[in-house]
Structure 1
Amino acid sequence: MNDKAQIHPTAVIDPAARLGEGVSVGAFTVVGPEVEIGDGCQIGPHCSFTGPTRIGSGNRFIGHCAIGGEPQDKKFAGERTELVIGDRNVFREFVTVNRGTGNGGGITRMGDDNWLLAYSHVAHDCIVGNNCVFSNNTTLAGHVTVGDWVIISGFAGAHQFCRIGDHAFLGMGALVNGDVPPFTMVGGNSLGRPRGINSEGLKRRGFDAERIAAIKRAYRTLYVAGLPLAEAREQLGVQAESSDDVRQLLDFIDGGERPLLR
């Protein structure tokens, strides 16, 4: 115990680690060098933190989390890479989040107000936005980008280099091998496929009927009309003139390395 943080006597804190005000650390947790943990973070028992890792304020690590470990990549040769985590995230039991790789940008990054439920895994060089929910056993391979307000159901996951757009929803067991556009709902049961838009989620986040109708029209153009992607993009360009949401969808389509999930 000290004035700066509440440390269980069995925890091991490297002298080179930096803990903010009001941090609590549970039994048998290990915090290594080059780890920075912000004010008010709560760390449960049997967690490990490996640096270089920077963690913001108000995060909760419930127990048995492995944060900032080496990337699971055979090409990793010990180069200096980082993990950066924002504020007010919750990491449930046995969550793992790895640092980046030297040839993948060197950093894994997570924003604010995310919930990662038990056994979730965020691999090297992933970028995760804000207000996401990763249900139990969610798995992101390396270099995956996840937008804001994304919900991923249990046992679902994403292939390397995939992108998942804002407000998307992946059903239970959905495994995606292509980019998931914003607002899209992906059906579960093995290889995921688009199954409409996330209407309920959009309503809960304050999207009005007009905005949702424009997104539905764009979805039908992209997925229901049977158009080649190039022709669908042309029609979306017209629709985007009167809808910022459709413009976001169109910009997403034009920006990825993986094929669009269709």
Structure 2
Amino acid sequence: MIMAEVWGYRPDGSNPCRHIVKYREQARQRYLSPDELVRVGQALAVALDAGEINAHMDAAIRLLLLTGARVSEILGARWEWVDWNRRVIALPESKTGAKPLFLSDQAIELLRVRKAAAEGSDNPHVIEGRLAKKPLVNLAKPWALIRKRAGVEDVRIHDLRHTAASIGVASGLNLPVIGRLLGHTQAATTQRYAHVDIDPALAAINTIGAAIAASLSGEKTELREDGADAGENESVESGS
């Protein structure tokens, strides 16, 4: 309607929607508990063995948990962006601009396995799709299968990102560092932590990666299941 006025199709100030109050969305705070992570790990293993999902789908879901990245960031990742020495996937562009995805020991190992499996392939993408040289474009069906089998049908694929943050908080990690790991949509918030060294960030992602990998493999952790304050602090939830 605003553009209709700009283009001269309606008189200025004639937008009939100007007095309508916008629906106030409620922030969603859902993340996987340690027990739920165990079930997700079991569901992934069963689905992979049964051929219900392929290795790329399995890797994508695990990387979402291990990195706290957005779905588009993982599905769009290319091998040329993987810096093995710095232990990051250096995204040239994301929702918040260029940023690194920090890689835990567990994420590095997963990527090494995928790299070895991709030897001889001309697909430049870490998560390959069915079409030649194209990435996997959608995780909706694989995740729907996994969450149903794991009994977590209310968990969206994006909640895996929140899970990484909640585990970091429950592990006592510094909130600014967690905010740096996830990235922020608010430029001022992101800039505030731009001076954070790469070493604390790597230490943080290693802590998160170890906890998630342990749960996915069926080991119980001692983390609190309530994820206290995980969804209540802007430095964690910004850019979700």
TM-score normalised by L of structure 2: 0.21
Structure in which a larger fraction of residues adopt strand = 1
Structure with more relative contact order (C-alpha pairs < 8 Å, separation 6 or more): 2
Structure in which a larger fraction of residues adopt helix = 2
TM-score normalised by L of structure 1: 0.20
